[in-house]
Chain A
């Protein structure tokens, strides 16, 4: 196999893995947006907090990884419920910009909590997945990547099924579609709001733990929260399947552009490429690939 093809495939695989994590976080983001029409700027901080909690449980309290992981999920669930009840519910009916600002404020509070509790230095998870990389016909992939990709895909499938078949999932979709109609059908809209925040916190925490296992965790982890915007815009802000596909595309795209263009521009292309794509998409297809076009009637 040629050197170039090899390089390309390596970037592609890394991109898919990172992309699947983006997809998870984007899923949480879209969920909140669909149910409550809130843009959540604190998504990255939820991710970071989840990763740190799991790390603290594993390293400081010596709890086995699987148990620690489940405890992290419970923690995220409670955190999501708490945030929705205490902070977001009073804001129902306020202008969009105030709600956006609220989540920005929330993000800096969460960041401060993480900094005050765990400090600012980078920490790494102990070896959880086997170190030995797998070899697929010349492409070397470490096992943690495979696990991440697998777990992310599994979760995405679980959530799609949840929205399609379970009562709660259907209630959430109904609320997203038309709050008033849902309410008159006996769906507790407040319960749906709480549930969407809880699920968003959980999927973010899972994303955080996965990415923590790949790269280690530090305070800049929350930047992923901003990376989610290109993913969701690409897929359409209110489409769950769009979020997944958008996440994968952005992951691949940023790795390819970083791999090929960094030499020309002297670094940093990886961070900015998704946003350039975002602007282009907004110009030609403002509602993304799968987004619902908003037709306004007087």
Chain B
């Protein structure tokens, strides 16, 4: 994973005053679950393309499109290229029949096939939709709201703590490893050495990082104890997220579209719009 992707998680919440930011966190996470679920039910490129346009439009509204595009380029694009090159290409994907483009080389046909390309496009666009919806929910929801939502959703406060502490720890440990790395390089660590030596380098980077983190664990545990983390009392949050009219409007819209999608499944099956493309099960 590239440093750009880490930068995105490091930055976490993106403070803006947009319609998406003002929505309740529960609405955004429900939307994320809802759109991901329907994208994995349908095997139809048109459905996933429309879903992708919807989530990308929301990313533009939330003004996080740069984040989203960067993550998609880093995570989804390589899978698209590998998938189209291998499954859509001449490597023997069993469903490939219709050549989109083909050339003859030494008596062999090298081509790009419709069935394999559609298969890869459907699966990767599903990924693109879910990743965009996830980022939309994550980077537009304040961490304090996240904690409050978890407690309101009756999740154990220990889980809420672990989730939020991880999000806080990631940038701390990432900064720490950068410092350790620079210190070790100044002591002679060669990151351009042979593969075996680079594997050995993991140990000299990981031991100080892990022992430092374990040391902090002890301090954090004492701090939590002293603040009554284990006290058998009801935990309260500083923020109290409340559903607004715009949230209910989104719920209503999701309910209407769900009815339409169920109607589509019942009347036209799981491939409602693509003509001439058969449903391909993975490994089938």
Q: Please say whether chains A and B are actual partners in one complex.
A: no
The residues of B with any CB-CB pair to A shorter than 8 Å are: none
The residues of A with any CB-CB pair to B shorter than 8 Å are: none
